[in-house]
Amino acid sequence: MRSLFRQSRGEGYTIKTLLLEIIMLLVCAVVIVPFYYLIVNTFKTRREMAFYPLQLPETLYLGNFEAALNQIRFWNAFTNTAIITVSTLVIVILFGSLAAYSVARRKHKIYKVVMLYFLLGFMVPIQTTMVPLYRIMINFGLENSILGLIVLSTGSTAFAFFLYQGFIKTVPYELEESAFIDGASPVRVFFQIVFPLLKPITVTLTIFHVMHTWNDFVLPFLFLHSRSNATLMLEMVRSVGEFQNDWPVMMAIMVMIMAPLVVFYLFAQRYIIEGLTGGAVKG
């Protein structure tokens, strides 16, 4: 055993590497075990979960998913959440990139003031503005409406602005200059030349925004009161009992809420890798 370790050590394998691998395995276990516990118990009865929580289910019991669909308005909440997520994503990417392009390519002092204005808005936590936001939403008749929540969720445009603004400065201006010489308008230059080069940061922003908006609870809880406008997170919280819970059903609800995000990640994984490698080659 000692000779084997020496042989491995000669190939670059040390005690430090072994300890690092053990630590990584422990970290992976900390992350994976809760997901394993969640998934396997969605296919168990309450009795089986109570006595054998970490074992694989004897049979694939699907009654928890049926009970979950009856307990929450899943498809209505799924539609509301998807509308809010997709709509705000389009708005944030469009306006964030356009604003960043305008500021990044201008050298006048007024644009430094605009930059400071966005920075101040980005630094103010949304939790400190809940009361005035609520009054504004009531005055404009946007309280308890999907449209109102879309307007509120587009506040992350300031975050998109800073991400795009820093990345646009790395794009060679000569590409745009040659297009301007050929008579292209600024809008055409942006959408046909600059924006395709922003794919890495656009993919990153999409991941952040979709994860945040899909899992957001605070804004829907404060501004959506009717169940017809509820999101998935609101439906999950409303399914929690005051004195007791059917935990296998609760876990089935959690899996149903997480499943679209998992599908989204699996679909976007190829584009994430392309975006990261594209940015690396570009740098």
Cα of first residue to Cα of last residue in the chain, in angstroms, is 46
Q: How confident is the model at residue 104 (pLDDT cuts 50, 70, 90)?
A: confident
pLDDT at 271: 66
Q: How confident is the model at residue 133 (pLDDT cuts 50, 70, 90)?
A: confident
Instruction: Kindly tell me if the per-residue pLDDT of 15 is higher than 90.
Output: no
Instruction: Kindly tell me if the per-residue pLDDT of 9 is higher than 60.
Output: no
Lowest-confidence segment of 57-71, 80-94, 198-212, 261-275 by average pLDDT: 261-275
pLDDT at 8: 47
pLDDT at 84: 94
Mean pLDDT score of the chain, rounded to an integer?
Answer: 82
pLDDT at 92: 93
Q: What is the mean pLDDT of residues 106-116?
A: 76
pLDDT at 76: 92
Provide CATH 1.10.3720.10 ranges for the chain.
Answer: 72-238
Identity of the residue numbered 50: A
pLDDT at 31: 86
With a pLDDT cut of 70, the percent of the chain lying above it is 89
Nearest partner of 133 among 219, 214, 217, judged by Cα? 219
What is the pTM (predicted TM-score) of this model? 0.81
pLDDT at 90: 94
pLDDT at 243: 54
Q: How confident is the model at residue 108 (pLDDT cuts 50, 70, 90)?
A: confident
CATH topology of domain 72-238: MetI-like fold (1.10.3720)
Q: What is the mean pLDDT of residues 112-136?
A: 80
The more confidently predicted of residues 171 and 256 is: 256
pLDDT at 279: 44
